[in-house]
Amino acid sequence: MLQEKQKWFKDEFNIPNEKCLHGEGWIAPFCKAYKIKEYQQHGEAGSIDPSTVDSEWAHVQKVLATFPLKDWWNFNETSLFAFAPPDHGLATKQMKGKKKE
């Protein structure tokens, strides 16, 4: 993200290549100087009803039972939410969560 912003500034202000910072060596000192860290963004605590999870899990089991085992695939959470908003980002402090609608 910082490298994309660097490119934007370079293009926006017509900075010549010989005056640009190249590579990734500048990122760690920059983040340290400005106390920037990567933080996990959490949603609202307790926003999921456990009974809903149980009923949906039962539904998934019924659907999977209709397929032969050779057709089952393992997926992580990123495959289920291809267009979900990011759950982490760069900041100077941890931010409070908010309900994701």
Query: What pLDDT tens digit does each residue of the chain (101 aa) get?
Result: 778 888 888 889 988 888 887 777 888 888 899 888 888 776 665 567 778 888 998 998 899 899 888 887 776 666 666 666 667 777 888 766 555 55
User: Is 35 a member of any domain?
Assistant: yes
User: Is 71 a member of any domain?
Assistant: no
pLDDT of residue 48: 72
User: Is 78 a member of any domain?
Assistant: no
Which structural domain, as residue segments, surrounds residue 35? 1-43+86-96
User: Is 13 a member of any domain?
Assistant: yes
CB 12 within 8 A of CB 5: no
pLDDT of residue 43: 64
pLDDT of residue 81: 63
What ranges make up the beta strands (E) of 1-101?
Answer: 37-40, 88-91
pLDDT of residue 62: 92
Structure-derived torsion over alpha carbons of residues 24, 30, 31, 33, reported in degrees to the nearest 10: 150
User: Is 5 a member of any domain?
Assistant: yes
The tally of domains found in the chain comes to 1
Buried b / exposed e along 66-99 (16+ C-beta atoms within 10 A): eeeeeeeeeeeeeeeeeeeeeeeeeeeeeeeeee
User: Is 50 a member of any domain?
Assistant: no
CB 38 within 8 A of CB 87: no
pLDDT of residue 45: 55
pLDDT of residue 15: 87
User: Is 63 a member of any domain?
Assistant: no
